[in-house]
Structure 1
Amino acid sequence: MLDKVGWAVGAVLGALSNPLIAGGVVAGAVVLGTGGWFAARRFWWRPVPSVLAGISLGVVLGVTFSRTLPDWAGRDEFCQLNGFSLHGSAELLNAMLFVPLVFFAVLATRRPLAVLGLAIALSAVVEVLQPLTRRGLCETQDFLNNSAGAVVAAVVAAGVLALGRRPAAVVR
């Protein structure tokens, strides 16, 4: 498992060595992090997780739309139908892609189901838009992996919120 994580970190660093991807990630993170701060003020959300959710959304959009489509890709079908898998580094990265966004958004808004639903919808929209914009491939596996990561993040964040609501133990 550690070799997959090491390979995944290497893949992330390799992708960020592309100036287009790195620029998209940084620009998206700055703009949407600032948007998270404004949203927190407007909707009375927790400010720090709101900013971190905005930054995470910028990373998601920057990673998915800053790259170019290889010449060989996307000629035969609009969307490749494949199933859930965590057997490769790309699959693992897709499962982790929405985790920070969903985790911080749940902490900011205190609405795990709403955030989860929006994250799953965003993943579907991204998968449909990638071939239309020629910025990636549409794959059902990516959608399933993104969604699975979002579910785990929403459950963990809901648990954190529940622990924060517990009354303090009385010491006698």
Structure 2
Amino acid sequence: MLDQVWWAFEGVLRALSNPLIAGGVVAGGVALGFGGRLVARRAGWRPVPSVLAGVWLGVVLGVTFSRTLPDWAGRDQFCLLNGFSVHGSAELLNVLLFVPLVFCAVLATRRPVAVLGSAVALSAAIEVVQPLTRRGVCETQDFFNNSAGAVAAAVLAAGVLAVHRRRAAAR
């Protein structure tokens, strides 16, 4: 498992060495971080996790849409139908991709089910839009892996909120 994490870290560094991906991640993170602050003010959400959720949304969108269609991508099939797997650095990165976004968004909104549903819908939308924009490949595995990470993050954040509520009630 430690080897997979190391390979995933190296994969992130390789991806960020591409100026288009790095620029997309930075620009998206900054723009959506500001957007997160504005939404927090209007919706009454917690400001710091809202900004962080916005930044992570920018990272997710920047990573997924700042790259070009790989040469190996087949033209015969709109979406590759493959299953959940964490065997490999790209697969592990797809599990981890939505974790910070969902965790921060749940802390900001205090609505784990709504955030989880939105994250799963966003993952599905990304997978459908990628081949249409020629910015990636639609794979069911990516959707399943993103969704698994989103579920883990929503459950973890809901647990953090529950502990916080218990401590506040005990005071």
Both structures adopt the same fold (TM-score exceeding 0.5): yes
Structure 1 stretches of 4+ moved >2 Å:
167-170
Q: Which residue of 2 is the match for residue 10 of structure 1?
A: 10
Which amino acid is the alignment partner of residue 70 of structure 1? P
Identity over aligned residues, as a percent?
Answer: 79
Q: Which residue of 2 is the match for residue 71 of structure 1?
A: 71
Q: Which residue of 1 is the match for residue 120 of structure 2?
A: 120
Which amino acid is the alignment partner of residue 87 of structure 2? H
Q: Is the partner of 2:59 in helix, strand or coil?
A: helix
- Asked if 1:83 is matched to 2:83, the reply is yes
Q: Which residue of 2 is the match for residue 32 of structure 1?
A: 32
Q: Which residue of 1 is the match for residue 98 of structure 2?
A: 98
- Deviations along 1:141-167, one digit per CA (max 9) or x if unpaired, are 000000000000000000000000004
Which amino acid is the alignment partner of residue 103 of structure 2? F
Distance 1:132 1:117 in 2: 23
- Deviation of residue 168 (structure 1)? 6.0
**TM-score normalised by L of structure 1:** 0.96
- Deviations along 1:67-106, one digit per CA (max 9) or x if unpaired, are 0012331311000000000011100000000000000000
Asked if the contact 1:32/1:57 (under 8 Å) is kept, the reply is: yes
Distance 2:168 2:47 in 1: 24
**TM-score normalised by L of structure 2:** 0.97
- Deviation of residue 169 (structure 1)? 9.1
Asked if the contact 1:74/1:131 (under 8 Å) is kept, the reply is: no
RMSD between aligned residues? 1.4
CA pair 127-167 structure 1, distance change in 2 beyond 3 A: same
Q: Is the partner of 1:9 in helix, strand or coil?
A: helix
Distance 1:51 1:169 in 2: 27
- Deviations along 1:38-59, one digit per CA (max 9) or x if unpaired, are 0110101000000000000000
Gapped regions of structure 1 (runs ≥ 5): none
Gapped regions of structure 2 (runs ≥ 5): none
Distance 1:15 1:162 in 2: 37
Q: Which residue of 2 is the match for residue 134 of structure 1?
A: 134
